[in-house]
Amino acid sequence: MNGIKIFDSIRNIEITINNHKEEIEKLDQEIGDGDHIFNILRGLQELLNLKDKLVDETSDQIFKQLGMKIMTTVGGSSGALFATLLIGMSKKFNPELNDLNNLSEMFYEGVESMKKRGKSDIGEKTMLDVLIPVSKTLINLKDESNISKVAEKIIIVAKDGMLSTKDIIATKGRASFLGERAKGHIDPGARSSQLAIEAICNQFINN
Amino acid sequence: MKKFVNEVDNILSESLIGFGKAHSDIINVNLSPDFVSRKNKPNKDKVSLISGGGSGHEPLHGGFVGYGMLDAACPGQVFSAPTPDQMEAASNEVYHNKGILFIVKNYSGDIMNFEMASDMIDHANQTVIVNDDVAVEDSTYTTGRRGVAGTMIVEKTIGSLAETGASLDECKNFGDHVNNMTASMGVAFSSCTVPAAGKPTFELSADEMEFGVGIHGEPGRRREKIKSANDLTKEILDNILEDLKPNNNQEVLLHVNGFGGTPLMELYLLFECGQKLLEKKNIVVTRSLVGNYTTSLEMAGGSFTITKLDENIVNHWDSPVHTSSLRWKI
């Protein structure tokens, strides 16, 4: 793990999310207020702007600074949650570990911090329905030697999590007001999280 | 969209700069990170009160910065929570050696960002969460009840207590107490337009209203045909009284709040409806406040807030206050 790889991932996430812009916007208009995609793209652009400044820093510093940037520029609930994820990840960075071990531990910590910040858990029709299963699977597979195999498995877990939000009646987040009316709709936060994870996994598979 | 605007992206900063200039005798405006703070430092140690939230609710919260009320306010983008660096910077600016008390309306984004600020600052700090809106239990943007027009009553009364040199714990407990004694509910006759969105947040036909609306135009209990002011008053106050369960001859503060697009004439009419109805129920209105204090941009409509008064609350409500939007006895 290093600055170049981290910023490559952000670039890949940005490209993938941009390719699905209309789809995510539509999902959000159905059960939210339609600003999710713009907040995400604005946040990702802010992160990419930091590349020259941060690319040579240690990975924990990079994650921390990325989190702070999201925290101070995105705002609202999503800004607070993504900032918490990144800052949480930065706390578990251990240069002694290999990338998969490291990323698994970091991601698990980040998602746990997010759960606390949002007072939310799996099954509430949010992005956590993608992030929690992914973090658990990563921990289970962290000693696997074939990274591509892990990445392929994670892509499936993320997709299953995303699709699971379709049948949940929301109790948290913006879809919660709609209750029954939001049933049958995929949560836009779950979709964008799943796409982001898929983008990172593809990066590992292609390498 | 017809608004006074130069560049949509600059609305907030231009407005804040104007606000600072118009009230330069009592407040300072800091930009990037944005916060409004009291100009005249208190001459003794006191708990520092900091509130904040999305912009578009003016005069809440910046209009309540000054003697006897808030030490600082952190405005977010329109209807979007402020970010923790704003609260951190405000805390450092207005710290007066007795800790920081955050006053936060119960909206998920506000709660999360103030929690992060609380983790970041080194000063002892506590948070009072205001959730006075009885319209809905969970809503578009909250878990639990929303914080609405009752917030300024909490800010006024804790502000007064803090001026006496009370401790952080005392201020926090009193804030929770005032919140528990306060309940609100409102109705919208028209939508509002968030400048960045450029179009109305929701649509209401000419004879419709949103009953139990939130202060961002987010849905309340139901959409229905408009009614007479007396009928509306009865329906709203029944909900509030069911929550507050006042005793016979209970003394109360009755606050009629406009959402920004309704004339004062109608708000006073609403006050008359409310006072009359409460009198019939043997509830005594001994304090009153009518006006646009917690707004939703240009939304038409308004809300009732009732606070059950005890000796403490009444004394701290009556005490001197000098802010840009609330001023008496000083």
Q: Residue B270: which CATH number? A: 3.30.1180.20
Chain A residues in contact with B137 (beta carbon < 8 A): none
pLDDT average, residue stretch A3-10: 96
* B96 and B85 in a common domain: yes
Q: Chain A 156-175, CB below 8 Å of chain B: which residues?
A: 171-174
Chain B residues in contact with A81 (beta carbon < 8 A): 112
What mean pLDDT, rounded, does chain B reach?
95
pLDDT average, residue stretch A126-146: 96
pLDDT average, residue stretch B204-230: 90
> Which of A115, A92, A96, A113 lies closest to A104, judged by CA?
A92
Q: Encode chain A in three state secondary structure.
A: CCHHHHHHHHHHHHHHHHHCHHHHHHHHHHHCCCCHHHHHHHHHHHHHCCHHHHCCCCHHHHHHHHHHHHHHHCCHHHHHHHHHHHHHHHHCCCCCCCHHHHHHHHHHHHHHHHHHHHCCCCCCCCCHHHHHHHHHHHHHCCCCCCHHHHHHHHHHHHHHHHHHHHHCCCCCCHHHHHHHHHCCCCCHHHHHHHHHHHHHHHHHHHC
Is B224 a domain residue? yes
> Taking the CA of residue A189 as centre, how many other CA atoms within 13 Å lie in the half-sphere pointing to its CB?
21
* B237 and B123 in a common domain: no
pLDDT digits (tens, 9 = 90+) for B247-275: 999 999 999 999 999 999 999 999 999 99
Which pLDDT belongs to residue B281?
Answer: 97
Q: Residue holding tokens 């009928």?
A: B231
Closest A-chain CA to B114: A80
Specify the pTM: 0.91
Q: Can you tell me the distance from the alpha carbon of B68 to that of B70, in angstroms, rounded to the nearest whole number? A: 7
> Which of B323, B217, B313, B218 lies closest to B261, judged by CA?
B217
With contact defined as beta carbons under 8 Å apart, do B294 and B53 qualify? no
A8-22, A32-46, B156-170, B228-242, range with the lowest pLDDT: A32-46
Is B3 a domain residue? no
pLDDT average, residue stretch B224-228: 95
Which pLDDT belongs to residue B201?
Answer: 81
Q: Can you tell me the distance from the alpha carbon of B309 to that of B276, in angstroms, rounded to the nearest whole number? A: 18
Q: What are the distances in angstroms from CA A7 to CA A200, A203, B9?
A: 11, 12, 28
* Pairwise CB contact (< 8 Å): B109 & A176: no
With contact defined as beta carbons under 8 Å apart, do B288 and B271 qualify? yes
Q: Chain A 124-153, CB below 8 Å of chain B: which residues?
A: none
With contact defined as beta carbons under 8 Å apart, do B48 and B91 qualify? yes
Does the structure show a pLDDT above 60 at B225?
A: yes
Tokens coding A90: 């930065």
Q: Can you tell me the distance from the alpha carbon of B246 to that of B252, in angstroms, rounded to the nearest whole number? A: 9
Q: Hey, is the C-beta of A43 within 8 angstroms of any chain B C-beta?
A: no
**In this complex, which of A71, A118, A171 lies closest to B83 when CB atoms are compared?**
A71
Q: Hey, is the C-beta of B251 within 8 angstroms of any chain A C-beta?
A: no
Q: Kindly state the DSSP code that residue B247 receives in the 8-state scheme.
A: P
Range of the domain at B302: 183-309
Is B1 a domain residue? no
Does the structure show a pLDDT above 60 at B106?
A: yes
Chain A residues in contact with B139 (beta carbon < 8 A): 176-177
Which pLDDT belongs to residue B140?
Answer: 62
According to DSSP, the residues that pair with B210 across neighbouring strands are B188, B223
Torsion (CA) B138, B139, B141, B142 in degrees, nearest 10: -20
Q: Hey, is the C-beta of A101 within 8 angstroms of any chain B C-beta?
A: no
Q: Can you tell me the distance from the alpha carbon of B38 to that of B316, in angstroms, rounded to the nearest whole number? A: 19
Q: Count how many pairs of residues, chain A against chain B, have C-beta atoms within 8 Å.
A: 67
* Pairwise CB contact (< 8 Å): A77 & B81: yes
Predicted complex ipTM = 0.82
A184 vs A143 pLDDT, higher one: A143
Which pLDDT belongs to residue B138?
Answer: 66
* Pairwise CB contact (< 8 Å): B113 & A176: no
Does the structure show a pLDDT above 70 at B63?
A: yes
Q: Kindly state the DSSP code that residue B46 receives in the 8-state scheme.
A: E
Overall number of domains in chain B: 2
**In this complex, which of B77, B83, B197 lies closest to A72 when CB atoms are compared?**
B83
Which pLDDT band, with edges at 50, 70 and 90, does A45 fall under? Answer: very high
- Enzyme catalytic residues of B: 57, 216
Chain B residues in contact with A79 (beta carbon < 8 A): 81, 83, 113
What pairing do the DSSP bridges indicate for beta strands B66-67 and B321-323?
antiparallel
Tokens coding A61: 């510093």
* B223 and B149 in a common domain: no
Which pLDDT band, with edges at 50, 70 and 90, does A182 fall under? Answer: low
Does the structure show a pLDDT above 80 at B27?
A: yes
Chain A residues in contact with B219 (beta carbon < 8 A): 177
Q: Hey, is the C-beta of B92 within 8 angstroms of any chain A C-beta?
A: no
What pairing do the DSSP bridges indicate for beta strands B97-105 and B46-55?
parallel
| Alpha carbon of A146: minimum distance to chain B alpha carbons (Å) | 38
* Pairwise CB contact (< 8 Å): A72 & B33: yes
B80 vs B238 pLDDT, higher one: B238
Does the structure show a pLDDT above 60 at B318?
A: yes
CB atoms inside a 10 Å sphere around CB B168? 18
* B291 and B197 in a common domain: yes
Q: Chain A 44-73, CB below 8 Å of chain B: which residues?
A: 71-73
pLDDT average, residue stretch B89-114: 96
Q: What are the distances in angstroms from CA A174 to CA A11, A76, A189, B143?
A: 28, 12, 10, 10
Does the structure show a pLDDT above 80 at A177?
A: no
Which pLDDT belongs to residue B322?
Answer: 98
What mean pLDDT, rounded, does chain A reach?
90
Residue A182 gets the label, from left (phi > 0), alpha (psi -120 to 50) or beta, of alpha
Q: Kindly state the DSSP code that residue B137 receives in the 8-state scheme.
A: S
pLDDT average, residue stretch B53-78: 96
pLDDT average, residue stretch B272-296: 98
Which pLDDT band, with edges at 50, 70 and 90, does A172 fall under? Answer: low
Chain A residues in contact with B143 (beta carbon < 8 A): 119, 171-172, 176
Does the structure show a pLDDT above 60 at A76?
A: yes
**In this complex, which of B83, B115, B139 lies closest to A79 when CB atoms are compared?**
B83
Percent of chain B with pLDDT over 70: 98
Which pLDDT belongs to residue B266?
Answer: 98
CATH H superfamily, domain A3-206: DhaL domain (1.25.40.340)
Which pLDDT band, with edges at 50, 70 and 90, does B214 fall under? Answer: confident
Which pLDDT band, with edges at 50, 70 and 90, does B199 fall under? Answer: confident
